[in-house]
Amino acid sequence: MPRELNVVAPAPLSLDECVARLDEEGFDPRDERSLANAAELLAGLAANRTFLGDILIGELGGASARQEATAYGPQAIMLRPPARGYFLRANIWPARGDPACQSSGASSFVYGLPHDHNFDFLTVGYFGPGYVSDYYEYDYESVAGEEGEAVDLRFVERSALSEGRVLHYRARRDVHCQHPPESLSVSLNICAANPAQGWFDQYRFEVDRGRIAGVLNASANEVMLRLGVALGHEDARALAADFADHHPSAAMRRVAGELVARVS
């Protein structure tokens, strides 16, 4: 499951203070010092109980000049766009009985969808009891990424992201299936932003069968290759054959191999 990082009674930080101090070192989750620094800063931001409400009210009232606080998906707010190896966001988690969840459906908020991530991120419970997760682990290198492929998913625990709890989700290792919180909740994330991470698959799983259910993050390059081959372009077919044998990304080799087999 994600690593729990213990941060002792952090001093509250403003969003600007948090971002400025993160920018001094960036965010490299492979470096324990960088990870600990980011965890302390994220906890400090979470200790500021008014910053997010102030931003939202400012946005709604048209009084905010912030460019950072923009929508990021149906439930997330971008607080700092990608720079210095990270981005910062807030996530809104409605309860099952909340109107947003009832009208849009639980799947709109990724509830009930077991998945991993192709990037590291830190999260902290900011408000409310927090979403509940069933946590699993698996070995990314041991799978080819085929739909229906068997995976050794190891169940670890079920727990909630309570206020002040800081977790490190490890790329291509931690799997979780989220469930709605008992009441509306908010989490804050510092997410690694590395251009190379797009070459790694992100999977959804069937945990009851221990299988890969599909790939969640088709890249633009994959889509263009699929379109070129589907349109019958000879150069696209030749490129797919070359990618199937020589592309450095295992995900692209797999996709190209599927396309070659389909048109052979």
The encoded tokens of residue 16 equal: 């600007």
pLDDT in tens, 94-130: 999 999 999 999 998 999 999 999 999 999 999 999 9
**pLDDT the model gives residue 73:** 59
Band of pLDDT at residue 63, cut at 50, 70 and 90 = low
The string of DSSP letters for 4-16 reads E----SPPP--HH
Which range of residues forms the domain containing residue 53?
3-215
Residues 122 and 35 placed together within one structural domain of the fold: yes
Residues 154 and 207 placed together within one structural domain of the fold: yes
The count of other CB atoms within 10 Å of the CB of residue 264 is 7
**pLDDT the model gives residue 61:** 75
Residues 240 and 165 placed together within one structural domain of the fold: no
Band of pLDDT at residue 46, cut at 50, 70 and 90 = very high
pLDDT at 174 over 50: yes
**pLDDT the model gives residue 250:** 77
**pLDDT the model gives residue 71:** 47
- Higher pLDDT residue, 68 or 143? 143
pLDDT in tens, 243-252: 999 988 777 8
Residues 189 and 242 placed together within one structural domain of the fold: no
Band of pLDDT at residue 72, cut at 50, 70 and 90 = low
Element (H, E) at 60: helix 51-61
Average pLDDT over residues 140-154: 93
**Model confidence, pTM:** 0.88
**pLDDT the model gives residue 198:** 79
Average pLDDT over residues 148-154: 96
Beta-carbon contacts of 112 under 8 Å, excluding residues fewer than 6 positions away, are 106, 177, 178, 179
Band of pLDDT at residue 66, cut at 50, 70 and 90 = low
pLDDT at 179 over 70: yes
Residues 200 and 224 placed together within one structural domain of the fold: no
Average pLDDT over residues 69-92: 83
Residues 126 and 187 placed together within one structural domain of the fold: yes
φ and ψ of 123, to 5 deg: -135, 150
Average pLDDT over residues 197-208: 91
Q: Residue 63: which CATH number?
A: 2.60.120.10
Residues 182 and 228 placed together within one structural domain of the fold: no
**pLDDT the model gives residue 67:** 46
Residues 54 and 110 placed together within one structural domain of the fold: yes
The count of other CB atoms within 10 Å of the CB of residue 257 is 17
Element (H, E) at 134: strand 132-137
